A = this chain, B = another copy of it.
Amino acid sequence: MSYGLKIRDKGALDFLSLGALVHRLDPGIIPFRKATHCQIHVGGGEFNVAANLADCFGLDTGIATAMVNYPIGDLVTERVKAMGVKPFYKRFEHNGVTGPNIAAVYSDQGHGVRAPVVFYNRANEAGAQLKPGDFDWNAIFAGGVRWFHSGGIFAALSETTAELIIEGMQAAKAAGAVVSFDLNFREKLWKISGGQNRAVSVIARIVKNVDVLVGNEEDLQKGLGIPGPEVAAKSKLDPSAFFGMIDRVIEKHPQIKIVATTLREVHMTNRHNWGAVAWVNGKTHVAPTCELHVLDRVGGGDGFAAGFFYGC
């Protein structure tokens, strides 16, 4: 790992994520309106990066998150263990009726010309109640943590989660960890926690602490409030729009060393072309385009982030 980043050589953890875990209900190619059964997956934008780094790349990773004492919590706990991610849980008791809950993400896989549909039941979500002070960062960072990560989904859950991210990033910095953030801008989520104006102001405060930023053109526009390019790109795989916005990002946040994102052209729900681009310490990089047969696109960006971080 290099590229302008100063990554510790060793640590009890190679990577620590802060975010909320969810259970996803997935009826496959059947839309929910016609579904009679579904698979139950466990994920979370921030967790997925830690899980991929542990399960695919063999790193020692951890997740700081909320856990609820009820059977869905147990289900989630098992998946976290199975992926080999070390948990740091702030625990909540479930009242059997209204929570606090592990949030449910309802998401099918789409088919052909029908795109996947995603909606949530995040009412009374335990993760949204996480707040500064909930984790003992000193203890967590004591053995050494090489990289700290969080993202825009967790930031949007409530007023306190954004503050917790900042607290965590500052502790991480103090402990010598690289800090990354995936903008993952979700308009629906920010709408329930203050709207876009608050989003831009909160994200700006977060990004001040960040070395590595992940986000596409739209994330940069909506999350950082940076105006988009004047001329539309000819293709979704054309990196010029993305690179054209980087100067403004660095101007605002000069401590950032790396900005990266995927570029995706969706032919059909199950057939995409993917590219990836990165701005690294002033140099631009473009990955060759790859044709993908997509089984399920959910979490694809998190997979990119994991692979990208691993290569840093």
- Is the pair A39, B37 in contact by a Cβ cutoff of 8 Å? yes
A120→B95 CA distance, assembly (Å): 9
Q: Which residues of B contact A121 (CB under 8 A)?
A: 98-99, 101, 104, 121, 123
Quick one: which of A73-114 are within 8 Å of B by CB?
A: 74-75, 78-79, 81-84, 94-99, 101, 104, 106, 111-113
A124→B121 CA distance, assembly (Å): 9
Of B36, B71, B79, B294, the residue contacting A39 (CB under 8 A) is B36
> Does A269 sit within 8 A of B, measured CB to CB?
yes
Task: Select from chain B the residue with minimum beta-carbon distance to A73.
Answer: B33
A292→B29 CA distance, assembly (Å): 15
Size bracket of the A interface: 35 or more
Q: Which residues of B contact A72 (CB under 8 A)?
A: 32, 106
Quick one: which of A46-84 are within 8 Å of B by CB?
A: 70-72, 74-75, 78-79, 81-84
> Does A246 sit within 8 A of B, measured CB to CB?
no
Of B34, B98, B113, the residue contacting A192 (CB under 8 A) is B98
> Does A290 sit within 8 A of B, measured CB to CB?
yes
- Is the pair A293, B112 in contact by a Cβ cutoff of 8 Å? yes
A104→B104 CA distance, assembly (Å): 10
Task: Select from chain B the residue with minimum beta-carbon distance to A99.
Answer: B123
Query: Assembly of this chain: how many copies?
Result: 6
- Is the pair B37, A38 in contact by a Cβ cutoff of 8 Å? yes
Quick one: which of A102-137 are within 8 Å of B by CB?
A: 104, 106, 111-113, 117, 119-124
> Does A31 sit within 8 A of B, measured CB to CB?
yes
Task: Select from chain B the residue with minimum beta-carbon distance to A28.
Answer: B37
Task: Select from chain B the residue with minimum beta-carbon distance to A157.
Answer: B97
> Does A270 sit within 8 A of B, measured CB to CB?
yes
- Is the pair A290, B113 in contact by a Cβ cutoff of 8 Å? yes
Separation in Å of the A53 CB from the closest CB of chain B? 15
> Does A25 sit within 8 A of B, measured CB to CB?
yes
> Does A295 sit within 8 A of B, measured CB to CB?
yes
- Is the pair B120, A97 in contact by a Cβ cutoff of 8 Å? yes
Quick one: which of A17-41 are within 8 Å of B by CB?
A: 25, 27, 29, 31-40
Task: Select from chain B the residue with minimum beta-carbon distance to A295.
Answer: B111
> Does A188 sit within 8 A of B, measured CB to CB?
yes
> Does A208 sit within 8 A of B, measured CB to CB?
no
Task: Select from chain B the residue with minimum beta-carbon distance to A270.
Answer: B293
Known A-B contacts: A96-B119, A104-B104. Give 17 more (CB < 8 A).
A27-B40, A32-B74, A33-B71, A72-B106, A81-B82, A81-B83, A95-B192, A96-B120, A97-B189, A98-B123, A111-B293, A111-B295, A112-B292, A113-B292, A124-B124, A268-B291, A268-B293
Closest 3 CB pairs of A and B: A112-B293, A33-B74, A82-B82
Enumerate 28 A-B pairs (CB-CB under 8 Å) in ascending A order: A35-B40, A36-B40, A37-B38, A37-B39, A37-B40, A71-B117, A71-B119, A72-B106, A79-B82, A94-B119, A95-B191, A96-B120, A96-B188, A97-B120, A98-B120, A98-B122, A101-B121, A104-B104, A104-B121, A111-B293, A112-B292, A112-B293, A121-B123, A123-B123, A123-B124, A268-B293, A269-B293, A271-B293
